[in-house]
Amino acid sequence: MSSSRQIDMIFDLLEQAQKSEKAPYYTPPQTGTPIHRLSPELLTGVFLHLRRVWEPIGTRGKKAPWLKLTQVCKRWKNIAYESATLWSHISGFYPPHIIEQWFRLSKSTPLTITNLCLSIDNVTVETKVKSAMSRVRRLGIFASIKNRNQLRSLLSSTAPILESLALSFTPNYATGDSQALDGLFSGIPPPLRQLSIKGCGLGSNSAFLTNLTILEIREPQPRFSAPNLLSILRELSLLTCLRMSNVLQCNHDHDEGWSFTPIPTETGVVELPSLEFLSIHGPCYAQDLDFLSHLSLPPTIILLFSSGFPYGYDHPVTAISDFLKVHASARQGSVDLAPTRVDLSP
């Protein structure tokens, strides 16, 4: 029997299992058919593929759709339960008892944990995650100023293989108090390669940033001063992707519009030799251009610039192209914009 035919049979059985809501398992009528002789390796591969396809469908309080695979027959259930990798992607949107079970089934496999919501109602799950931080590879967290101490407690654990951290933080907008990353990873810093933060700053301890290749900062509270952000970027020589959205400090007056403090000349230029992609979005066009003028950019970089443009420019592409020519000529002596793609949102 061809592999494609075997896959078709798998999907036929899955469809029947989805329609069967009364019986806990669906057992094919002919137990001697080739479907029963599919190797555990092939079935595990199918399970993993469908988990990746269906995982985004899951919602809070509901089981992951791919769990119906374990209802086709007892053999499939046993094979699924023996595959630790299948249970290594844990979503905080699922009920605590399901999360507890997945932790157990994942055994010692490196974990990816997403959508972990820190709250007083989720202490059991947080405790489980904290105890397993030694094998967490990717972590996504929702937190707020009210549970900042819970966040610090969770991320004070040693995380020797943590490569990716995504933190969406709800700060106190009235006071600007949000330094959520202060005091984290006070021990041995994790080997972070990717960091995405929203609503908070980077804190004063930046030792865990040095190996970053991807950095995304959105709407931090408080906003960064341009010199401070440049001093942080100066240490990130491995950075290949930088995304910034409403990051820099600026002021708005109803009559005068946006204003900002220019970067002092003595700040110098920050070289980012590995940078391949740079995205800047902010309300103040002139401020973002001032910030760009203090970056030494590779000639082949992809630049996405969606800042607010002032009146007087017929087309913003002309303004940015002229700026890049002047900037590159001043820093490098010559410039060739042919390999550079400049993409601007309206």
Structural domain spans, the chain: 1-87, 90-344
Predicted local distance difference test score (pLDDT) of residue 272: 92
Give pLDDT, residue 5.
57
The neighbouring-strand residues paired with 341 are 302
Bigger pLDDT: 189 vs 273: 273
DSSP 108-146: T--EEEEEEE--GGGHHHHHHHHHTGGGEEEEEEEEEGG
Distances (CA, A) of 124 to 117, 130, 137, 272, 310: 12, 10, 20, 42, 52
What 96-104 contacts at long range (C-beta under 8 Å, 24+ apart), as own/partner pairs, is 96/122, 96/124, 96/125, 98/63, 99/125, 99/128, 100/124, 100/125, 100/128, 103/128, 103/132
The pLDDT assigned to 292 comes to 87
Q: Give the pLDDT of residue 240.
A: 95
Q: What is the pLDDT of residues 133-190, one digit of tens each?
A: 999 999 999 888 777 778 878 887 788 899 999 998 886 655 555 565 666 766 677 8
Count the neighbouring beta carbons within 10 Å of the beta carbon of residue 47.
Answer: 20
| Region 295-307 average pLDDT | 79
Most confident of 1-10, 105-114, 174-183: 105-114
pLDDT over 90 percentage in the chain: 20
CB 182 within 8 Å of CB 209: no
Amino acid at 97: H
Instruction: Compute CA distances 153 → 18, 42, 221, whole Å.
Output: 42, 41, 21
Tell the burial category of 52 from Cβ atoms under 10 Å away from its Cβ (0-12, 13-18, 19+).
exposed
pLDDT at 104 over 60: yes
pLDDT tens digit string along 238-264?
999 999 999 998 887 777 777 888 999
Q: How far apart are CA 69 and CA 209, in angstroms?
A: 40
pLDDT at 143: 84
222: preceding bond cis by omega (within 30 degrees): yes
